């Protein structure tokens, strides 16, 4: 058999759509697996989130360039695109020099994750590797350099009213600065005090 006559694989490959949509249950199953084996799968989910976030930010930038519309309208466009894909909507609030808080009450891992009902308090904190990566990828693409993400256990300020839903709260800033905050938090420092220092 002469294989030189065989068509090359890429000649026979039919390209599919740029996007593949997965049901939330699929992501929930992955999050459940990450809980059972936290190392590799959580890193893979975060990496997948980074890729999705970077693509999402690029798509929004094509539709509404940031330099033409400003941050407020950019976040509105980003949220419209993100929520339309089932990825959640995000609130952005500066907290100190170089650090902002992003909160989300409808992040993908939360809804119906791994047999847990929506609103399960176990999902309210820290079980969001895909969303962490998503935010990291979005913001890194927008600012053109790496952005760090740190999950908070509590808000940096008290909300004016009780929140109707638990929210995932992320600090974003330079990766090195957020690593130093994480180390100081682990040593017992209060987050509010750390942010006041910066």
Q: What is the pLDDT of residues 68-93, one digit of tens each?
A: 777 788 888 888 888 888 888 899 88
Interval 7-12 mean pLDDT? 43
Interval 86-109 mean pLDDT? 87
First to last CA, the chain: 70
* pLDDT of res. 7: 40
Ranked by mean pLDDT, the top range of 43-47, 57-61, 145-149, 156-160 is: 145-149
The whole model's pTM is what? 0.73
142-148: long-range contacts at Cβ-Cβ below 8 A with a sequence spacing of 24 or more? Answer: 142/57, 142/61, 142/66, 142/74, 146/174, 146/175, 147/172, 147/173, 147/174, 147/175, 148/172, 148/173, 148/174, 148/175, 148/176, 148/177, 148/178, 148/179
Ranked by mean pLDDT, the top range of 26-35, 135-144, 165-174, 187-196 is: 135-144
Position 149 confidence tier, pLDDT thresholds 50, 70, 90: very high
């Amino acid at each position: 058999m002469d294989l030189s006559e065989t068509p090359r694989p890429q000649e026979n490959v039919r390209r599919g759509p740029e996007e593949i949509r997965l049901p939330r249950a699929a992501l929930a199953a992955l999050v459940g697996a990450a809980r059972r084996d936290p190392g590799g799968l959580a890193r893979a989910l975060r990496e997948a989130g980074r890729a999705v976030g970077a693509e999402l930010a690029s798509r929004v930038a094509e539709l509404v360039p940031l330099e033409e519309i400003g941050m407020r309208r950019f976040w509105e466009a980003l949220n419209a695109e993100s929520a339309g894909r089932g990825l959640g909507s995000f609130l952005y609030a500066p907290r100190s020099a170089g650090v902002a808080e992003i909160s989300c009450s409808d992040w993908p891992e939360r809804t119906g994750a791994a047999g847990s009902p929506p609103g399960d308090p176990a999902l309210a904190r820290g079980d969001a590797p895909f969303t962490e990566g998503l935010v990291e990828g979005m913001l890194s693409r927008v600012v053109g350099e790496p952005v760090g993400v740190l999950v908070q256990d509590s808000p940096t300020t008290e909300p004016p009213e009780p929140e109707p839903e638990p929210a995932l709260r992320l600090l974003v800033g330079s990766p090195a600065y957020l690593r130093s905050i994480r180390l100081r938090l682990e040593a017992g420092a209060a987050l509010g005090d750390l942010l006041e220092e910066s």
